[in-house]
Chains A and B, each alone.
Chain A
Amino acid sequence: ELKVEQNPLFLSMQEGKNYTIYCNYSTTSDRLYWYRQDPGKSLESLFVLLSNGAVKQEGRLMASLDTKARLSTLHITAAVHDLSATYFCAVDRDSGGSNYKLTFGKGTLLTVNP
């Protein structure tokens, strides 16, 4: 059974600081997703990582994937208050197939303080 672990689960940051959220998963997969969820809202797709070594950046967020280590990171650069949200990683348990069944981590609640 695929297990996805995120850490930390809670993260309180000062504006302007950098930090990394980690996502470990237990079985082979070549598809990893990062989502953002604001309170009371649905999930917003941030990144889809489809191969070993994939790196994607959007604004102050950068995501990477190491399939050998079964590890993805979401790096936050110079945090701003607007980044406060819950961030989920999700792994496709079907690895290269066409079923796209996602197993989610527990989420990281990020609070950026002025």
Chain B
Amino acid sequence: SAVISQKPSRDICQRGTSLTIQCQVDSQVTMMFWYRQQPGQSLTLIATANQGSEATYESGFVIDKFPISRPNLTFSTLTVSNMSPEDSSIYLCSVEDSRASQHFGDGTRLSIL
């Protein structure tokens, strides 16, 4: 399965600031996905990122708050903008493989003070 690297692994940020999370995959993939896992909760899909097109956002998530880039088939970034304590979560990127399985990166643990 694909090896997925996320940076940073964790961060503590001040409210009102923005943080960009990077996701690097060791093979070319068509789609990359960004999920959020709030403390003690399950995972919620934020958006789907295809190379060369704008990301598709799920209900409740907007581009101004979570801008996403997908410049090539192995890389994507998610920015969490104008952060508030409610954005404290784990953010995970994932990719699908040829066997319809979906694999996750190690996640970025974000705390906002």
Contact = CB atoms under 8 A, between A and B. Distances in A.
Please classify how large the interface on chain A is, using the bins under 10, 10 to 19, 20 to 34, 35 or more.
Answer: 20 to 34
B105 A100 contact: no
B31 interface: yes
A45 B44 contact: no
Contacts of B48: 99, 101
A25 interface: no
Interface in B16-65: 31, 33, 41-45, 48, 58
Contacts, number: 49
Contacts of A105: 42
Interface of B: 1, 31, 33, 41-45, 48, 58, 92, 96, 99-107
18 contacts: A33-B101, A35-B104, A42-B104, A42-B105, A43-B43, A45-B101, A48-B100, A50-B100, A88-B42, A90-B43, A90-B102, A99-B31, A101-B45, A101-B48, A102-B33, A102-B102, A104-B42, A106-B41
